[in-house]
Structure 1
Amino acid sequence: MTAENATPPQDPAAELRAAVRAVERGERSAADFFTRPAPPPRAAARRPAGEGAPPRLVSVPADVPALLAAGGAPESLAPRVVSALGEGAAEELRADPWRLLAVAGVRPEQADGFARALLGDDCAPDDERRTRALTVWLLERAALAGHTALEPAAIAKGLVGHAVPDPDAAVRDAIEAGAVLVLQHAVADRPAGGEEEAPVRVLLGLDRYALAEESLADGLARLGATFGSAPGGDADWAAAAGAAPSASAAELIRAAAGAALVVHTGGEAARAEPAALVAAARSLGLRAYAATHTEDGRRRLAAALPDGAAVTVTGLLTGAEGPERDAEGLLPVDLLAVLDAAQLGAEATAALVESLPDGARLVLSGDPLLLGAAGPGQVLTDVLGAGLCPHIASRTPDPGPVGELVSGIGVGELAQVAAPENEVVTVPVRDAGEAVHRTVQLVADSVPRAFGVPAEEVRVITPGHGGAAGTRALNAALKDRLNPGPGRFGGFDPGDRVAHSPAPGRTRLATVADADAEGLWLTDSDGRFRVAREAVADTVRHGWAITAHQAAGSRWPAAVVVLPGDAAPVIDRPWVYTAFSRGERHLSVVQGAGPALAQAVGERPGEPRTTRLRALLAEQAAASAPAD
């Protein structure tokens, strides 16, 4: 072979860029260009409720702690390593030290240090094992921010931040190695006309989240395709709508009578409307239930429904609440109204829809202005955006000065509202120290004295756990004032208010009752429950002060929202809307953020999430549409 006709060496970076451009223009298929073998057919097995699963206790082989110590990692990490990698964790880590990044909480610099200790001079920043692990870690980190997939350029940018010399080549290698999936969807808003193929958007994702959104889209399509007659004829539904307590409730009942899937949106007061729907459906003989995001939401809803009709999503999926599943693993339900749907991620919603039988009605009800799910997906937003089902927007406003204030925030306005009985109070502070001091004063003295709300019914909400006025600092100060003690049970004393978070997106607020050799015993309105001793450090925090994500789905008679000066970069309109709407009767704002608060409301509507559900639903609709 001569030099003239020899094949020139390939530039992986240029090849990747050319591939993405070709796929985006519709010139080539992503599946055709990227030569990774197609994954095996995916089973349609029922997925367990991941959000409701307790931490798994594992048996740790002796070689795992020894290997971690040899790599300079703490031996206490061993249970999490075995939980993530299995009993062969030590062998897997010897072959690929960067697999340590698959363990929750491990950062890239820690995995790099572990790899250097084991590999010595063979450790390199462009090691394929490292770049593949980093690519997966970036997608998992993006999932914590709500994304189910990312564009290749976003991943390459993230790799640059971790000193990967050739990020484009690293992305291509991760694709060809099967570490990530290539996902493509037609661009919805393309110019009309022309004979060329429609351009597509290329995303990269992990199988877990791709499966969840695809399963969810398929499940929703199945409900629509199998929807038909059910108990309660047209006349009965019309009569039920005529007896509804409000015009919006009547509209929702009529919509649910004629559709398998309905979206319902509104604020806190609008929650009465899906409750009215479930009550009406039950009066017609349907097996109807309403599911909420939190225990507090379930308790508030239960007051308006027959016994057993109000459940939590987690309780329904795990079998702790609601009807027992049938022999096929399906829930015997004719109509399910899911409240707090804005807080539902893709995986939990997929599990829920997979559990519904053919012909069931599903109502997704929530407030799209609230903070979204504490995990990947934006189900309510995507289904609403797809425009493929009836949408009932409630016309029931939230009452009182707090409701008026929150309504303005929802449209980007932070206005002064009339509060003749001090329902809304702003407390200016100069620094974080003063913010903590005034917060303790409000909770322990001012709010109970002025409004007759006991301190235990006042919840403090702040942007994050760290910082001089984060949950840790506030909880330490509130414990010192409200329940001082030595913390003899792993930092906790009987009477401490705590937040138990057994899984991402799930928070159960409780009070410490006792402790023994088995663990920490907590109580809430549903009774006494135990947190295993091994899980306390990772799942239990003091809970006088919580974050807005933890507060979503719950309300209290009074809320104190703390905005220290360093809050400006992390708050936006959804955060303010969520935090300010948690108080039923009273809201105190400890305001140290200055003009940044108004800017967050007016100029920061929230970061968009990259997801695929809306595109999947659109593709299904296009495929099922009759040909011209």
Structure 2
Amino acid sequence: LGAPSADSGSPGAAPPAVVTVTGLLTGAEGPGRDADGALDLDLLVVPDASQLDVEAGALLAESLPDGARLVLAGDPAALWSVGPGRVFADLLAARVCPQVASRLPDPGPLGELVSGVGIGELGQVEAPGKEIVIVPVRDAGEAVHRTVQLVADSVPRAIGVPAEETQVITPGHGGAAGTRALNAALKERLNPGPGRFGGFDPGDRVVHSPAPGRVLPGRVVKADADGLHLSCAGETVVVPRDRVEGSVRHGWALTAHQALGGRWPAVVVVLPGDAVQALSRPWIYTAFGRAARHLSVVHGVEQALPRAVAEVPAKPRTTRLPVLLTPQVPVAG
């Protein structure tokens, strides 16, 4: 989530460090704290700031030293944080600090589609290069079957994106076409094995959640007495045996919240019939926006998809932050 920048104004200074918000606040990553207990930095840049919940936002603000600069960057149309609050949206609405609108739509059919969803329009988009493919399905069983077919065969063959660079996104973990069912089917096709270590085998694609709201994609390397050894972004992570069940899931299929902050060459969004209640404009915008080159939509919700884009905004959240920020806004005249 976070990217604190080291002082790079002097010759030979180290390049800015990129760390997580959790690691920065706990002291496990980043520059540490000064004698007064404040973070030892002059500038803190937080991308994907819409994912900051109230607690993380408050801790960040309290931890900054006097005179430090805080830059929050994010997409206001994307899903809000998993935790309570809507810090980024409240700050934007209050207009208590300078704002710069800098996002340019991605080029091509995918950029046109996602930009339209962001303003509540799901229009017909020409995709001559098969950048967008709609796959109608009748039920959840067919949705799982077609998803596996797309990831393992159709997308690699027709688009040239291998299975390991294709991400499946679905609304929830449960149900006949949730992440659990999809991951089981994808594992059986892509990396079958007995799952001797808590259901995992070497080569399995996983996501590790070392802290609430933090998701690290990776792969299983091995398992031994120390725990489950993962490779996450080129780094080795060892998850103790007693924490595997609660912090590691298979990662061929994710929820949109788990996928936030990531982009993949190809994405398969699965919308089974029982997903209707979970659909909203921010969910669809976030899920569709994870695709860089190709998007397949396994579509079983019929008119619920355009209706959600046009009529279902983010669920309202009640927070005190707008009230607290109001006195900070200068009164004209």
Please indicate the TM-score interval, normalised by the length of the shorter structure.
over 0.9
Q: Give the equivalent residue in structure 1 for 2:113.
A: 405
**2-side partners of 1:432 and 1:474: how far apart?**
10
State the Cα distance separating 1:572 from its structure 2 match: 0.5
| 2-structure distance, mates of 1:536, 1:546 | 17
- Tell me the equivalent position of 1:338: 46
Q: Give 2:247's match in structure 1, choosing from 536, 539, 564.
A: 539
Where do 5+ consecutive residues of structure 2 fail to align? none
* CA shift for structure 1 position 468: 0.6
Equivalent runs, 1:162-561 vs 2, <5 Å: 282=8, 284=9, 307-394=15-102, 396-561=104-269
What is the distance in 1 between the residues matched to 2:238 and 2:277? Answer: 38
Q: Which has the higher contact order (CA 8 A, sep 6+)?
A: 2
Partner of 1:243: none
Contact 1:345/1:376 (CA < 8 Å) preserved in 2? yes
Tell me the CA shift for residue 621 of structure 1: 4.5
Which residue is equivalent to 1:567? 275
Render the CA deviation track for 1:513-548: whole Å, top value 9, x for unaligned: 111222211112231111111111111111100100
Please say if residues 563 and 591 of structure 1, whose CA atoms lie closer than 8 Å, have aligned partners that are also in contact: yes
Q: Distance in 1 between matches of 2:233 and 2:239?
A: 16
Residues 346-367 of structure 1: CA distance to partner in whole angstroms, max 9, x if unpaired? 1111111222110111111100
**Cα-to-partner distance string for 1:177-199 (whole Å, 9 max, x where unaligned):** xxxxxxxxxxxxxxxxxxxxxxx
Give the direction of change, closer, same or farther, for the CA distance of 1:331–1:526 in structure 2 (3 Å limit).
farther
Q: CA deviation at 1:380?
A: 0.6
Equivalent residues of 1:323, 1:332 under 8 A apart: yes
Report the 3-state secondary structure (helix = DSSP H, G, I; strand = E; otherwise coil) of the residue aligned with 2:209: strand
Distance change in 2, residues 1:318/1:526 (3 Å): farther
Q: CA deviation at 1:285?
A: 5.1
Provide the secondary structure at the position in 2 that maps to 1:465. coil
Seen in structure 2, the aligned counterparts of structure 1 residues 285 and 411 have a Cα distance that, compared at 3 Å, is farther
Report the equivalent of 2:293. 585
Deviations 1:278-304 (A, max 9, x none): 79x94x559x9xxxxxxxxxxxxxxxx
SS of the aligned residue for 2:292 comes to strand
Identical-pair percentage: 67
Count of aligned pairs between the two proteins: 332
Measure, in 2, the Cα distance between the counterparts of 1:507 and 1:590: 25
Q: Which residue identity lines up with residue 363 of structure 1 in the other structure?
A: V
Quick check: which one's strand share is greater? 2
- Gapped regions of structure 1 (runs ≥ 5): 1-50, 53-273, 289-305
Q: TM-score, normalised by structure 2?
A: 0.93
Deviations 1:443-494, CA, capped at 9 Å, x for gaps: 1111112222221111100000011100011000000000001111111111
Q: Once the 2 structures are TM-superposed, how far is the Cα of residue 620 of structure 1 from its aligned partner?
A: 4.4
C-alpha distance 285-353 of structure 1, shift in aligned 2 (>3 A): farther
Which whole-Å CA distance do the structure 2 matches of 1:315 and 1:426 have between them? Answer: 40
Q: Which structure is larger by alpha-carbon Rg, 1 or 2?
A: 1
Query: What secondary structure, in the 3-state scheme, does the structure 1 residue paired with 2:228 have?
Result: strand
Q: In the alignment, is the contact (CA less than 8 A) between 2:96 and 2:328 conserved in 1?
A: no
Q: Give the match for residue 606 of structure 1.
A: 314
1:308–1:322 contact (8 Å) kept in structure 2: no
One-letter identity of the residue aligned with 2:59? A
- Over the residues paired in the alignment, what is the CA RMSD in angstroms? 2.4
Q: Contact 1:461–1:551 (CA<8 Å) still a contact in 2?
A: yes
Structure having the larger proportion of residues in helix: 1
Q: Secondary structure at the match of 1:562?
A: strand
Deviation track 1:102-147 (CA, whole Å, cap 9, x = no partner) reads: xxxxxxxxxxxxxxxxxxxxxxxxxxxxxxxxxxxxxxxxxxxxxx
Matched letter for residue 21 of structure 2? V
SS of 2:100's equivalent? Answer: strand
Specify the code of the residue in structure 2 equivalent to 1:468.
Answer: A
Q: In structure 1, what residue type is equivalent to 2:326? A: A
Please report how far the alpha carbon of residue 316 of structure 1 lies from its aligned counterpart in structure 2 after TM superposition: 2.1
1:331 is displaced (CA, Å) by 2.0
1:395 CA drift (Å): 5.4
Please state whether the residue corresponding to 2:111 is helix, strand or coil.
Answer: helix
In the alignment, structure 1 residue 618 sits paired with structure 2 residue 331: no
CA contact (8 A) 2:202 2:220 kept: yes
Deviation at 1:321, TM superposition (A): 3.1
Please give the TM-score of this superposition, normalised by the length of structure 1.
0.50
Whole-angstrom distance in 2 between the partners of 1:502 and 1:312: 12
SS at match of 2:134: strand
2:175 partner SS? coil
